[in-house]
Amino acid sequence: MARTLISVPKTAEAGEIVTIKTLISHPMETGFRPGADGRIMARDIITDFTCLYDGEEVFRAETFPATAANPYLTFTTRATRTGTLSFIWRGDNGFEQTETATLTVT
Amino acid sequence: MPRLPNRRRVLALGTGSLATIALRPVAAEAVTRTETTAQAIRRFAGDAEIRPGRVHLDLPPLVENGNAVTITVTVDSPMSGEDHVRRIAVFNDKNPQANVITVHLGPRAGRAAIATRIRLADTQRITAIAETSDGRYWSTSADAIVTLAACLEG
Amino acid sequence: MRGRSAPVLGLLLAWSATAAEIPVSERRSGFDAMSPDIQAMQQDEMANPGLLWLQDGADLWGKAPSPDRPACAGCHGEAGASMRGVAVRYPVYDAATAAPIDLEGRINACRARHQGAAPFPRESRELLGLTTYVAAQSRGLPIAPPDDPRLASARAVGKALFTQRMGQLGLSCAACHDDHAGRRLGAALIPQGHPTGYPLYRLEWQGVGSVQRRLRNCMTGMRAEPFANGAPEFVALERYLMDRASPLPLETPAVRP
C-alpha cells in the first residue's frame, strides 16, 4: 500500500466550496530514463485519479510521466450533504488504491 | 584573513569543471516524440477554435529543479449547470511527451481550480486549455526557465 | 582515504585555522535562498512530500518489532513529548560504544539493544521514516550542540575534514561553503551548507534522504571517494556541521531543490 495524505475539511456549510489536497507515495517512473545498467527503465506511473462524493464522480484527472514523483493534486468540490469522499488512484502494473474521508455538512 | 595562496585559483578551476559537468540534461534527450504538442492539443480540442483568455496558469518563472514544479490552473467560470468548465488540459513542448495532465470536472467542483506538481525537462512553454460547457476552448501559456543544480547526484 | 587520514590529521588541523568561519549572526539556512514556491512546498503541512516519510515513521514508532519486544512508544511514550529537543543535540556521545553516534545510529542501536531487531539499512524507507519522525518533533527548536568534552575529538576531526582538500578537483567543503557561500556555481546559489532540515525531501532525489547522502553527493562532486554509510568520518563531520549551524532552527522535514 502506498502512503497517502489527504486533506479534507472535517465540516463545511451546505453549499460551501471546499479544497481537497492529496499526496501519494509513488515513483512516477517516466519510462524515459536509463537505469544504472544503461537500459531504459520501464514506465511505472499513476495514470488516473478519481474523486467520488457518495459514489458520484466529482473530479477526475488523467496523469502522465510529466507528473512529479509522489503526486500532489488539489481540487475543489461543493459540499452538498454529509457523505463519503472516495479517492481512487490507478496506474501501471495493476496499481490501484482507494482511500475515503467523511465530509460533515452542517 | 590568511588564505592559502593558490586556493582562489584552484577553486576557479574547480568551479569551471563543475559548471561544465552540470550541463548534462535532466531527462534523456535521445527520446523521440511520437506526438508533437500541436498534435496532442488537436487530439484534446479537435478542430475547435482555441481562444486566448479565461484561463490563468501560474508557475514559477525560474525553476530551481525541474523534477517538481508547482503549477496552478484556474478558469473564470460560474461553474453552474448551464455554464461550467468540463475539462482542463495542460501541455508542455520540451518533455518527451506533450501531455502534462488532463482533468475532468463539472458544476459540482464549485470552482475550476487545480494545483499539481509537474516535471519540466528543460526551459519551455507550458499551455493550459479549458473546454467550457458550450463547447468552446480557452487557453493561456506561460514560460518557465529551468536552471540546473550545480551539484547533481552522480 | 581512511588509511591516510591519521598521519595527515595534524596538518589538517593546522589548515583549519585558515578557514573563515561564519559568525553566528550571519548564519543562514538554505531555506532563505530558495524560491518562494519551494519554500511554500516545505511550509504547507499538506504539500510537503517529506510528510509521507514522516507518517511511515509515526507508524513504525507505535509498532512492536516482535510480539515480546516493545515498540519505540513502549519505552518512550508520545514522541511529541519524549523526542522534542532530541535531534537538535545530535550527534551525541554513546557511552556503550565509547564513540559519537548520529540519530540514525541511535535508532539502530535502540533496535539492537532493546528491541532485539536487526538494524534498518542506511537510506532505507524505514530508517529515514523513523529518523524524520523523531527529528520533526524538534522542528522550530534551535540546534543545540551538547557541551560534552567526550565529543572534542569528533569535533576536531569533523572540522579537519571540512577544511581538508579532497578528490581530483582539490576542493574542500570550506572552499565552497565558508569562502564562497552566497556566490553562484553555475546557476545555483552556494549555500552556507547547514544541515538544518535532515532528513529532507530533495527534488533532485525525488525522495527523502539523510545528511550523509547529501555529503556523499558533495564528495562525488569533488571527485573524491565518499566515506561508507555510517562511517565515523561522517558522524564527525555531522557533529562539526551541527556546531557550525547552531543556533539555526531545525526544519525537518525540509524541502530543497
More confident residue, B18 or C159: C159
pLDDT in tens, A4-41: 999 999 999 999 999 999 999 999 999 999 988 999 99
d(CA C84, CA C69): 24
d(CA B92, CA C71): 48
Query: How far away is chain A from the Cα of B22, in angstroms, using its nearest Cα?
Result: 17
Confidence of residue C21 (pLDDT cuts 50, 70, 90): confident
Best CA proximity match to A75, nearest among B92, B88, C157: B88
**Cell numbers representing residue A103 in the block:** 465530509
Identify the helix (H) or strand (E) that includes residue B152: none
Whether the Cβ atoms of residue C218 and residue C209 lie closer than 8 Å to each other: no
| Residues 6 or more apart in contact with residue B6 via CB below 8 angstroms | none
With a pLDDT cut of 70, the percent of chain C lying above it is 92
pLDDT in tens, C145-191: 999 999 999 999 999 999 999 999 999 999 999 999 999 888 788 99
Antiparallel, parallel or unpaired: β A17-24 and A11-12: unpaired
The minimal CB distance from A63 to the residues B69, B70, B101 is found for B101
The pLDDT of residue B149 is: 60
d(CA A67, CA A50): 16
d(CA C36, CA C243): 28
Antiparallel, parallel or unpaired: β A72-78 and C184-185: unpaired
Contact: A70, C46; criterion CB under 8 Å: no
The pLDDT of residue C185 is: 84
The minimal CB distance from B149 to the residues C35, C188, C218 is found for C188
pLDDT in tens, B78-136: 999 999 999 999 999 999 999 999 999 999 999 999 999 999 999 999 999 999 999 99
Extended beta strands in B55-151, E state: 55-58, 62-63, 69-75, 85-92, 99-104, 112-118, 124-132, 137-146
Q: Is the dihedral of CA B140, B146, C200, C64 positive or negative?
A: positive
Contact: A5, C56; criterion CB under 8 Å: no
Q: What is the ipTM of this complex?
A: 0.95
d(CA C193, CA C200): 14
Q: Give the residue from C204, C210, C213, C216 with the most B CB atoms within 10 Å of its CB, the best one to mutate.
A: C204
CA torsion A37→A40→A46→A47, rounded to 10°? -170
Return left, alpha or beta for B48; rule: phi > 0 is left, psi -120 to 50 is alpha, else beta: beta
**Matching CATH number, C29-65+72-256, of 3.90.1300.10, 3.30.450.40, 3.30.70.860, 1.10.760.10:** 1.10.760.10
Please name each of the domains of chain A with its CATH number: 4-105 (2.60.40.10)
Provide the β-strand partners of residue B37: none
- Which residue in the block uniquely carries the three cell numbers 527534488? C203
With a pLDDT cut of 90, the percent of chain C lying above it is 89
More confident residue, A58 or C187: A58
Contacts of A25 in chain C (CB under 8 A): 52
Contact: C36, B17; criterion CB under 8 Å: no
Provide the residue ranges of all domains of chain C, joining segments of one domain with +: 29-65+72-256
Mean pLDDT, rounded, of chain C: 92
- Which residue in the block uniquely carries the three cell numbers 514506465? A43
The pLDDT of residue B152 is: 61
pLDDT in tens, B28-64: 445 678 999 999 999 999 999 999 999 999 999 999 9
Please name each of the domains of chain B with its CATH number: 7-146 (2.60.40.2470)
User: What pTM was estimated for this model as a whole?
Assistant: 0.89
Mean pLDDT, rounded, of chain A: 97
d(CA C188, CA B151): 9
- Which residue in the block uniquely carries the three cell numbers 554509510? C229
Identify the helix (H) or strand (E) that includes residue C240: helix C232-245
The pLDDT of residue B24 is: 42
Confidence of residue B150 (pLDDT cuts 50, 70, 90): low
Query: How far away is chain B from the Cα of A91, in angstroms, using its nearest Cα?
Result: 14
Question: By mean pLDDT, which of A90-94, B23-27, C47-51, C151-155 is the weakest?
Answer: B23-27
Q: Using the predicted structure, report yes or no on whether residue C144 has a pLDDT greater than 50.
A: yes
d(CA C109, CA C231): 15
d(CA B32, CA B41): 18
The pLDDT of residue B30 is: 52
CB atoms inside a 10 Å sphere around CB B17: 15
The pLDDT of residue C188 is: 82
Q: Using the predicted structure, report yes or no on whether residue A70 has a pLDDT greater than 80.
A: yes
CB atoms inside a 10 Å sphere around CB C50: 25
